[in-house]
Every structure is written in structure tokens, then in C-alpha cells.
Amino acid sequence: MISVPALGSVDVAVIGAGVVGSAIARLLSGHQLDVALIESRCDVGDGTSKANTAILHTGFDAKPGTLESRLVARGYHLLKAFADETGIPYEPTGALLVAWDDEQLAALPGLREKAQQNGYAESEIVGSEEVYRQVPTLGPGALGGLTVPGESIICTWTTNLALATDAVRRGTRLLRSHRVDSVTVGAESTVLHTSQGDLRARWVVNAAGLGSDTIDAQFGHDRFHLYPRRGELLVFDKQARPLVDKIVLPVPSKLGKGVLVSPTIYGNVMLGPTAEDMTDRTDTSTTEDGFGFLREKGERIMPRLLQEEVTASYAGLRAASDAPDYTVEVDAEQRYAVAGGIRSTGLTSSMAIAEYLSELLAKAGLDLRERTDLPAPPRMPNIGEARLRPHADGDRIAQDPAYGTVVCFCERVTQGEIRDALNSVIPPCDIDGLRRRTRAMNGRCQGFYCGANVTEMLQGNERKAHR
């Protein structure tokens, strides 16, 4: 007999508070359901979701006819609307695929045809003269290109936090630092045995990122297997931003999408990622080989970029799957759903995955009665450079001088912003979480000057919380 769980009972438990799990919890909590969002780490978006190339994709290059292509195209519009509603920073920069040899040039018509099959008709093939007109700083030898004017850059950190914040405001119970170790499926409910106690749920949704195949196996399935694909990135100083105002993409090959150059929402320029298949699902270290590979690619794509200072290097792990498409399915008998094998396009498709999965859940028997008392969507702090930041907002500073007191000078982060993050609906649990909410310590000095003050503010808030 299953004992009464220490953490209580819910209608739906969503495992994984990355961007997909947070989007699912948000949508389900818009119905008359008790929802729990369970995360093994101490913060939302601290797994595969945090180290994304941060592009809002049109879906032009997805494989036509796949679930991924359908959900990326739908998610593009859903996320853009949600960003407008909540203040998630994004910039519609557009993108340009650059062909560097005859084989790549010959592939452009097929890529344009693929885009049209995916419902995106705005792409155009351009010659080398137009390529260099659009991006004058490219290295020599570009033969032509394909324009993708709808591509945008976006803040992946704020996206994840906004979805999770909206979910919590709607009533979702967020359980951080709760690792799901095993499950016991019963006749009427499932018990999730977590590192902090047992939680009983009538329905379970598995959105556990790199761990989703492991959770899936605990429900008796063997339909997809994941392996971590490490992607290393170089971030260049803000002085490099005038070199490129749009995303510069390679022509995809059998080996993957390749290395891109892209402006970031924070005013930097990014080069990467690498693509290295791993076995360790926790290894996010950067490597000398990765650094050398990116510099070699950068020398051809944009040699002037390599004359600029590298502010940071980091690596993320993507969930590569042996299945050819997203795995989004529902087992009605077990009252169990999975959203697994979600590649880096999951940032764009997250809200569409939630929408699609909720339709499957309803067909499988989950009672989805919409609520009429939902709170207004949250308004997220702006940590992007496209709109007015607090340190430059005279009216805001006049109302609250804390927004005029700069703590992190590299990123112009103010005391008011850090205070707001520490007192937000989902406050950070550590310095990395505070970085993702404010950009503090993310600049050229990487916290050398501001680290002590920022850490003291975080620790002071923790001491106050424990009194």
C-alpha cells in the first residue's frame, strides 16, 4: 500500500522547471487544477534552458511535416505575443545564411523551398554583393546568402522566469531542489518519490530535459534515448556590437547547423556553438579545443570580431535524441505525459508544446475547465539594451533613488534591480540565479569589482528571510 505522501497531493505534477515545463505548468494552472512544478535544481531554468543560443526562430529550416516544425512555427507567434505582454526583451534583428562555397550556394534554393513548406515565405536568395551590403564585416569569400527577416534574438533567462512566474501567480506550487528519484504508479494516482519527500499526483507530465528519458523509463517506456551535446560559446565585449546587427548563420550540413555569429539582447556578440556529443550529463566545462575551434571558425566568418575582447566563455548541454522528432505523447492508462527530446528549438516552441500537450491531455481524460479569475500576466524587469534600462530612467530614479545607484558598473545594474530580484515571486537562490535575473557580474570584469557587494546583498536577504 502506498503511504500518504509528505508533500501532499495535486491534480498534475510537472517534472522539470525549464522553459518547456514552466510553459506547461503555466497553461495548466489556467484551468481549475492544482498544479505542482518540480525542479531538481535550486532554480528554474538552471538546466538545458539557461545556455541557449537565445534565438526566437521562425522555424524556416525545420524538417517539414514534423511535429517540431509545426510547434516551432506556432510557438514563434505565441512567444512573441507573450514577450510583448510581459516585457521579455527581444529584438527582431533578422538573420542571414551565408554560403562560403559552391556546395553551400547550391543548397540555398532547397533551404528556401523548405522554408516555404514550413509556411515561411519571406526568405530570399541574395548574391555576394547584397551579403556584404547587409554585413560588411564578413570575412572574404562569401558567395551568396539566404535572408530570414523574421528571426529575432531574445532573453532566454527572462523567458523561462516569466513563464514560471506566471505559473506561480496562477497558483502553481513550485518545488525547487526536489529531485524525482523514483515513481510508484497506482490505480488512481502516482507517487513521485523526491529528495524532499513524496508527492501524490493524479496526472504526471515529464518535461525533465536531459533527464526526461530516465523518467520515461520509470513509467515503463523505452521510446527515446538522450545524450548530452555540449555547445561552447564565446561572448565578446559590447564594443564588438557595431560589427554585426543581425544573426549570421551557416548553411546547415549533415553534421549540424554549425557556428553562428549573433548579437545578444545584452549588447554583446556571441560566437558558437560547438557540438560535442558527451556521456556525462553534468559536464558544462569549457575546453581549450572548443576555444580553438571557435576561433578558427570566427577567423573565416568575421576576422575583425576576433580582434575584440572576449568577455566570457561558457558551455551548455542540449538534449540530443535518437528519435527523429520531438516526443510529445500521453499514456491515458497511466495518466502520464512526456515532452522529451526537445532540442534547442524548445525555447521558441515551448508555449506551443504546452498548448499541444494540453490538447492531448484533454483527449486522454484530464478535465480542463478554464478559470475566469486569472491574475494579469507579470511584467518582467528589462535586462536588454533595446529599451530603457533603470539606470538611465530619470523618472524612475526620481521616484526611487535605488534605481540610480549602480552596483555593477560593467552591466549598469542598480541596487533597485537587485533588490527587486531578491524580493520577486521566484527569488534567486544563489549568485548565478541573481546573474540571470539582473545581469550583475556578467560584464567585462566578471564580478571582480562588484562581486563582494552583490554577494552581500544576496546573503543579507537570506539572513533576513531566516529570521
How far is residue 396's CA from residue 399's CA, in Å, rounded to a whole number? 5
Where does residue 334 fall: left (phi above 0), alpha (psi -120 to 50 degrees), or beta otherwise?
alpha
CA-based R_g, the chain, Å:
22
- Three-class SS state of 116: helix
Concerning whether 57 is annotated as a catalytic residue, the answer is: yes
Catalytic residue among 57, 178, 221, 391: 57
CA atoms within 13 A on the CB side of 408: 27
Q: Cβ distance 327 to 213 under 8 Å? A: no
SS3 breakdown of the chain: % helix, strand, coil, rounded to 5? Answer: 35, 25, 40
Phi-psi sector, 94: left (phi>0), alpha (psi -120 to 50), beta: left
Q: In Å, what is the CA distance from 234 to each residue of 123, 160, 257? A: 28, 22, 17
CA distances to 43, 128, 242, 260, 262 from 55, in Å: 22, 25, 19, 11, 9
Q: How far, in Å, CA of 98 to CA of 86, rounded?
A: 34
Longest dimension (CA), the chain: 73
Catalytic residues: 57
